[in-house]
Amino acid sequence: MPLPEGLLVRNEKVDLVRGTLDMLVLKALVWGPMHGYDVLNWLKRISEGDLGIDEGALYPSLHRMEERGWITAEWGLSENNRRAKFYELTDAGRAQLHEQRDEWGRYTRVVDRILEAAPGGER
Amino acid sequence: MSGRFRRAWRSLLRREDVERAVDEELAFHREMVTRELMDQEGLSEEEARAEAERRFGELWSYEQECLRIGERRRKRRRRLLWARDLRSDLRFALRSLKRRPLILGVAVLSLAVGIGVTVTVFALGNTFLFRPAGYLEEPREIVTIYAETSTEQPHGPVSFPDYRDIAAQVDALESVAVMGLDAVRGGERLGGRSLLAEVVTGNYFQVTGIRPVIGRAFQPDETPPGSAVPVALLSHRLWKEQFGGQTSVLGSEIRLNGVPITVIGVCPPGITSRMVPVRVDLWMPLGIPGAGTRRVLSELDQRGDRQYQVIGRLAEGADIRDVQAQTDVLAARLASGHPELWQIGEGQPRGFRVVSEEDSRVNPDARTGLAGLSALLLGFTGLVLLIACFNVAGVFLARAGGRRREIALRRSLGASRGRVVRLLLVESLVPGLLSGALGTLLALGLTRLLSSLTLEFGVPLQMDLSVDGRVLLFAVVLSTAVSMLFGLAPALEGARISLVPAIRGLSGDESGRPTRVRRVLIALQVTGATLFLAATGLFLRSSLEAGDADLGFDPSGLAVVSHSMSHLQAEGGDVRRLVRDRLAELRSRGDLEGAAAAVGVELTTTFMVRSGNTEVADAGRPEADRWRALHNAVTGEYMETMGFRLLRGRTLKASDREGTRPVAVVNETFAARMWPGADPVGRDFQVWYGRDPEHTYEEDHRTLTVVGVVGDGKYLAIGEDRRSVFWTSFYQDPADHVTFVARGRDSAAQAAGILGRVVEIPRGELSLVPPSTMEAALSRQFVYLRMSSRILGACGIFALVLTLIGIYGLVSYTAALGRKEIAVRQALGAGPGQVLRWVVRSGIRVTASGLAVGIVLALLLGQAVRSLLYGTRPLDPLVMGGSSVLVLVAALTAALAPALRATRTDPMSVLRDE
């Protein structure tokens, strides 16, 4: 899992780096099987619209994770009775989510420490 | 894996499925966003759709990425599935084969024999034609230089003076070595064996780059040609066999032809002679004085004595064309300096031929013949293999037939046609590879056997066959191809089974007759068996007939011994006196009816010594054409001892000696050709001995007067047509090779014993024929006939057995398919006889058609090999009739057992069962 190369700010919305999106999608699926549109809605709701992503980027992310075995997919019917592809977290996906979270925590702590450091290197 | 999951898995195995899924998923997303925008923000459908697309981002690139991922997954899934199916097919194949060990056994064994023989033949060809000489250093830089012997034999040996000129004048070669072959007799430490020595110039090891495994190569000062120091290197094999691989052999003394020689090294294993593909036992410098190897300086200096081969290593920057160009210049110079030796035919200059190492492992002139022979052998063994395949295909076809229900069930449960075909192919691959392994083991044994065979030609010649990577690859490819071949027919048939009737338990073919594929296969087997049996018959009859042939002399009671006397001649001895002394001694023995000597004896290997290129022409007509005739030189009483039929004039007498008028006796064919319709006695003819190096007359031809005519006989081969032959007096025309013949009063063995005691073979001389009875010496003439009929006979019996199994299988299969019909017929009152006829008929019909084709092919084959047959017409009715009857009887027997079983069918149980 590569570290995010940097966070970009655009129109006051946080632009996402690819790896981060994977982690957020995994998190969304913790609550149960969802199709892509649901995942997106959940992310929007939780982030209260502060997250700027191309909605389409979600799908390669989902497919890649399916390939890696973190999630599985099955066709089913949506609430309005249309055929939709539902994704479900696997055990490997759950483990992956934990790992990415830990890593994210370490990363932000380091970045925070640096950003809050006093001049001269002493706190 | 759960069923739900497996379905999902399988559903994405096709490319279109993957594309459709991605399209649908992305469309769904955009659709949902559009709807949400319309519902919640009150946008018009058009606006909403535009906004949804904006939010979605670059649709095309996301779609592409999804497709890429999907495609990657699809491929991996397919691979995994394929491997898993293969595993299960294999497991299933092993299980079902284990249930029928007899079928497996028969299939594997018959294929193993076929594969083993084919691989052996391939190994033979591989050894002679392809195998690289691994012991050479930088073989690309090595070239072989041949001299033209004749237009038919452009790659002949060179003489030692030629070699010297090449070494001195061709600077495109960095170094040049020469080699010749000699037979030597080893002393006590070498087990008294006859050994094949390569006699070489001192730089042989530098040119070839061969490094002794122990000891050293020759040093330049050890090897001046003709006066070399007595040293030798041993072959790896000889070292292991006679000295147990002990290093103490270095510096020790061995005896070759009685001369003490010091061992200085041992060569790496696997070196064969570059002149003939047989293994060499030791290496000696050219011409150790007194070692009896005919390489004394006076002989080496003869430009007409062509018996050496030259190899050279290219100088830096030079290539093979430079060498050819420089040797062309040399050849032109030689042609003007020695016109008598450097011309072939009328005014056509002899040239050198420079050939790369790769193309000269076998003499290029022999290469084509060898390749042809290998192809022929491969064709024959391939035919046997093909029959074995047909047979096994038949067995498997019967199984596929018996498994119609199982296959139909598989198909109805969703197995695709391809899947069923694959299952059946895998089932055939298992016995195929198994028999490939067995066949390779067999080939290993056979090649070892062949390598250990000794070709007795005075010197034991041994081939060095081995199974290398190329041969193994051939075996693997062959057995895979073979199993595909016999697996294909059943597999295709299995896939064709239609579902509904088969699953209901009815056979797809209501008539109860086996399918066409199967009938054709069996017919082909019958054809093959007939062909082999007929060929065997032809050769067998031929070898019987040959025993009664008119040879032109009477072999019973005769014995011969033959050896060269070059040693004696080289030392200035008189061959004539030696022969006279020996004959006097032989004739003093009371147990012999007669004794005489000649250069060679008709129909033995010795006769070829002198008969090479002799040409004759009528002396009375200067314009007359020259033509070739065979020639022999004989002492007085030779013709009487041999039992030639004198037709006119007189035979050659002891009084036809040196200094008297040169005379000749000719045979009927010679006389009829030279002087048609006239009495030849008293007429003169001229003879040119051509390029026979043993003859060095001052004049280029001699005139001979005919004193007698004898009846035609056989001279070189029993199967030959008429040949023109003339005989001169040995004392007027001596050679350094002599054969003594004697006729015993009681038996040939008695005469051979006396010859052995009186005619002692000088040390170091080559004996072409050891003391033996004429019958034994003659039998070489029959060897090829006997060998051919033995090999073909083995093939024929093998093919017949395979065919029997095939017909048995066919009839059993017919009976099984027709069980219901038989039962119905029986229920309607058919007797056992009718049932029997009905079942057997299928086998007989197939046999008859196969037989007809086989006989036609056998006739064609007979025409093709007519020259090899003696006294046997290719249309021999006994042979053709005999093999047909044999095949028919065999087929009937094979058909009878299953047919009898069918008559014992209990109609009630069958009908209830169905």
CB contact under 8 A, B24 and A78: no
Per-residue pLDDT tens digits for B710-728: 999 888 777 677 888 999 9
User: In chain B, which residue's Cα lies nearest the Cα of A79?
Assistant: B32
pLDDT tens figures, B215-225: 988 887 777 77
Q: Partners of B710 in the beta sheet? A: B646, B667
Mean pLDDT of A44-71: 85
Residues 6+ apart with CB under 8 A from B346: none
Residues B665, B651: contact at Cβ < 8 Å? yes
Range of A65-74, A111-120, B518-527 with top mean pLDDT: A65-74
Reported as a pLDDT band with limits 50, 70 and 90, residue B848 is confident
Dihedral-angle region of residue B491 (phi above 0 means left; psi in -120 to 50 means alpha; beta otherwise): alpha
Nearest residue to B466 via CA among B279, B196, B281? B279
State the CB neighbour count (10 A cutoff) for residue B145: 26
Over residues B99-127, the pLDDT tens digits come to 767 667 777 777 888 888 888 878 777 77
CB B116 within 8 A of CB B447: no
Q: Both tokens of residue B410?
A: 């598989």
Give the H or E element holding residue A9.
Answer: strand A8-10
Which pLDDT score, from 0 to 100, does residue B671 have? Answer: 93
B267 within 8 A of B258, measured Cβ to Cβ: no
Gap from A11 CA to chain B (nearest CA, Å): 15
Task: Decide if B33 contacts A37 (C-beta within 8 A).
Answer: yes
Write down the pLDDT at residue A11.
Answer: 40
Q: What was the pLDDT predicted at A15?
A: 57
Give first-to-last CA distance, chain B, whole Å.
39
Kindly compute the dihedral angle of the four CA atoms of residues B668, B671, B673, B675, in this order, to the nearest 10 degrees.
Answer: -150
pLDDT, tens digit, 9 for 90 and up, residues B191-201:
777 778 888 88
Q: In this predicted structure, what is the pLDDT of residue B867?
A: 61
**Contact B292/B475 with Cβ under 8 angstroms?**
no
List CB contacts (< 8 A) between B54 and chain A. Answer: none
Tell me which of B1, B66, B76 to substitute to probe the interface with A (most A C-beta atoms closer than 10 Å).
Answer: B66
Write the DSSP string, B313-364: EEPTT--HHHHHHHHHHHHHHHHHH-TTTSEETTTEEP-EEEEETGGGSS-H
A85 and B66 within 8 Å at the Cβ level: the answer is no
Task: Say whether pLDDT at A64 is over 70.
Answer: yes
Identify any residues that bridge with B214 across adjacent strands, giving them in sequence order: B266
List, for residues B131-167, the tens digit of each pLDDT value.
666 677 788 888 999 888 777 678 888 888 888 888 8
Q: Which of A36, A63, A84 sits opposite B70 (nearest CB)?
A: A63
Contacts of A63 in chain B (CB under 8 A): 65-66, 69-70
Query: Which of B39-48, B521-530, B703-712 comes out lowest in average pLDDT?
Result: B521-530
Q: What is the pLDDT of residue B663?
A: 93
Give the helix, strand, coil percentages of chain A, each rounded to 5.
55, 20, 25
pLDDT band at B512 (very low <50, low <70, confident <90, very high): very low
> pLDDT category, B788, cuts 50, 70, 90?
low
B688 DSSP β-pair partners = B615
ipTM summary value = 0.82
Confidence of residue B456 (pLDDT cuts 50, 70, 90): very low
Give yes or no for a contact between B281 and B237, defined as CB atoms under 8 angstroms apart. Answer: yes
What's residue B666's pLDDT?
94
Q: How confident is the model over B71-90, as a mean pLDDT?
A: 84
- Cα torsion A49, A51, A53, A58 to 10°: value is -90
| Integer Cα distance of B106 and B102 in angstroms | 6
User: In terms of pLDDT, which residue wins out, B759 or A75?
Assistant: A75
Beta bridge partners of B740: B561, B597
Chain B interface residues facing chain A, Cβ-Cβ under 8 Å? 4-5, 8, 21-22, 24-26, 28-29, 31-33, 55-59, 62, 65-66, 69-70, 72-73
Looking at per-residue pLDDT, the higher value among B78 and B257 belongs to B78
Q: What is the mean pLDDT of residues B679-706?
A: 73
Is the pLDDT reported for residue B363 higher than 60?
A: yes
pLDDT at B439 over 60: yes
Split at pLDDT 50, 70, 90, the class of A6 is very low
**Per residue in B229-240, pLDDT tens?**
788 899 988 898
pLDDT in tens, B564-581: 666 565 556 678 888 888
Nearest chain A residue to B4 by CA distance is A74
Q: Could you give the C-alpha distances from B138 to B356, B415, B612, in angstroms and in order?
A: 12, 57, 38
Pick from A24-38, B797-811, B853-867, B868-882 the range whose average pLDDT is largest.
A24-38
CA dihedral B528, B529, B535, B541 (to 10 degrees): -170
3-state secondary structure of B460: strand
| Higher-scoring residue by pLDDT: B52, A10 | B52
Residue A70: the pLDDT is 92
Cβ within 8 Å, pair A37-B28: yes
User: What is the structure's pLDDT at A7?
Assistant: 38
Q: Is the pLDDT of residue B803 over 50?
A: yes
Q: Are B662 and B704 in contact (CB under 8 A)?
A: yes
Q: How would residue B346 be classed by pLDDT, with cut points 50, 70 and 90? A: low
Min Cα–Cα distance to chain A from B70, Å: 8
Check residues A85 and B839 and name the one with the higher pLDDT: A85
Shortest Cα–Cα distance, A68 to chain B (Å): 10
Q: Which of A17-31, B183-197, B413-427, B569-583 has the highest mean pLDDT?
A: A17-31
Higher-pLDDT residue of B518 and B470 is: B470
Structure-token pair, residue B814: 């017919």
Q: Which of A67-76, A80-89, B469-478 has the lowest mean pLDDT?
A: B469-478
The answer to whether residue B604 scores a pLDDT higher than 70 is yes
The SS3 assignment for A68 reads helix
Option in B31, B56, B62 nearest A60 (CB): B62
> What integer pLDDT is reported at residue B711 of this predicted model?
92
pLDDT at B509 > cutoff 50: no
Task: Name the H helices within B250-319.
Answer: 297-300
Which chain A residues are within 8 Å of B62, Cβ to Cβ?
54, 56-57, 59-60
HSE on the CB side for B840, CA within 13 Å? 20
Tell me: the pLDDT tens digits for B887-902?
888 778 877 877 777 7
Read off the pLDDT band of B187 (50, 70, 90): confident
Q: What is the mean pLDDT of residues A49-77?
A: 86
- Chain B residues whose CB is inside 8 A of the A64 CB are 69
Best A34, A44, A59 member to test B by mutation, with max B CBs in 10 Å, is A59
Confidence at B265, pLDDT banded by 50, 70, 90 = very high
Kindly give, in sequence order, each residue whose CB lies less than 8 Å from that of residue B615, ignoring residues fewer than 6 positions away: B626, B627, B628, B629, B687, B688, B690
By C-alpha distance, which of B159, B440, B190 is closest to B302?
A: B159
The predicted structure's pLDDT at residue A1 = 39
